[in-house]
Amino acid sequence: MNKTHSGRSSSLPDLLKRYSGPILIGAVFVLFSVEAETFLTAFNMLQIVHHGSILGLFSLGFTVTVISGEIDLSFSNLGALIGVLVAIFFVKADFGVVVGLLTATLFGIGIGAFNGYIIAYRGCKSLITTIAMSSICWGVTFMLTGGGDEVRGMMPDAFAFIGQGYVGIVPCSVFIFTLCYLISFIIITRLPFGHHLYAIGFNSEVARASGINVRFLKFIAFVISGFLSSVAGLIITSRLGSGQPIVGAQFLLEGIAAAFFGVAISTQDKPSVLGTLQGVLLLSIIFNGVTLLGLPLYLKNIIQGGILVGALVSKEARTLVDVFYNLKMRIDKRHREAVGSRS
């Protein structure tokens, strides 16, 4: 990459680049406040943070696996499975609140651990392993719900508190979201674990040679992803008051887009907790605004894809020029060779 890390220069392009995330979020926020009447209301802000907290938890787990150089595409269906599972625990099996929550979370961690074991210790490719695991989770979810029916019934009040209650004036789901981000921010940026994870992501061979237990850390990354996805699944079920087999699955593209938006706006090309947080905020605001303005919902997909592609392309904006330059060089060289061989 053509990047110079020469301290903190304060020229305008550099500043724009460093704060591109907040600037974008602010611009989108102002745009929707002006365009949509009901955007700037307390109720709507609450909707945004509720959506953002679920999306953020999914995306955070995904980010941790991306930091370790792997990719976890099973998080959304895993969350959906755990959400349905906990609903079944409460409605059909009459589990206590603590037992039900713990068992469901343990299931999620177990699936994440299985992913991690297959990928880290058996050397399978993470992309394809998690696609397979995602499909298994989807199948089990539909099997448990008898073909996609929601699981309805009385849930304990303490469980409903997770998605609907308030801690002081803060919604409980936002509280969990903030707590998870704070803890992972400290772990990823301040503790050796995080630095080792980045080292593995950059070059796992070098990391192994310098004494990092690559396999174990990759395994742990997938366990974390499984844990955070299941927490997100629990929040969805608690918030809706019923086990919905298809709601969690819709977070797949959003979660990926948020994490990679974080990669794209970071000045060092790294996935990070803060970057993902900004991606989550941006996407939550955009989707809320699109819905409020009454625009067709498929615009969501186009915007998601546009953000991903646009972020990557703008990242390589300098290389784009290089690409054409290289192409021209190569054509010139071919031409010269052709001329040379003829003479």
Tell whether residue 296 is a contact of another protein (CB under 8 A): yes
Residues 6 or more apart whose Cβ sits within 8 Å of residue 13 = none
Q: Which two tokens stand for residue 144?
A: 């448990």
Backbone angles phi, psi at 206, to 5 degrees: -65, -40
Of 31, 97, 132, 240, the one binding another protein by CB under 8 A: 132
Tell whether residue 265 is a contact of another protein (CB under 8 A): no
Choose the stretch contacting another protein; rule: CB under 8 A; options: 3-11, 22-30, 140-148, 174-182: 140-148
Is residue 271 within 8 Å of 65, Cβ to Cβ?
Answer: no
Residue from 217, 236, 235 nearest 225 by CA: 217
Tell whether residue 319 is a contact of another protein (CB under 8 A): yes
Q: How far is the CB of 51 from another protein (least distance, A)?
A: 18
**Distance separating alpha carbons of residues 281 and 283, to the nearest angstrom:** 6
Of 27, 40, 306, 333, the one binding another protein by CB under 8 A: 306
DSSP string, 28-97: HHHHHHHH-GGGGSHHHHHHHHHHHHHHHHHHHHHHHHHHTT-----HHHHHHHHHHHHHHHHHTS---H
What is the per-residue binding string for another protein in 62-81, x denoting contact by CB under 8 A?
A: ---------x----------
Q: Tell me the number of residues near another protein by CB under 8 A.
A: 47
Q: How far is the CB of 299 from another protein (least distance, A)?
A: 7
Q: Which is nearer to another protein, 191 or 313 (CB)?
A: 313
List b or e across 76-102, with b for residues whose CB sees 16 or more CB atoms inside 10 angstroms: bbbbbbbbbbbbbbbbeeebebeebbe
Q: How far is the CB of 260 from another protein (least distance, A)?
A: 5
Tell whether residue 118 is a contact of another protein (CB under 8 A): yes
Q: How far is the CB of 143 from another protein (least distance, A)?
A: 6
Tell whether residue 150 is a contact of another protein (CB under 8 A): no
Q: How far is the CB of 304 from another protein (least distance, A)?
A: 5
Residue from 223, 259, 255 nearest 119 by CA: 223
User: Footprint of another protein on this chain (CB under 8 A)?
Assistant: 71, 118, 122-125, 127-129, 131-136, 138-143, 147-148, 253, 256-257, 260, 296, 298-309, 312-313, 316, 319-320, 323, 327
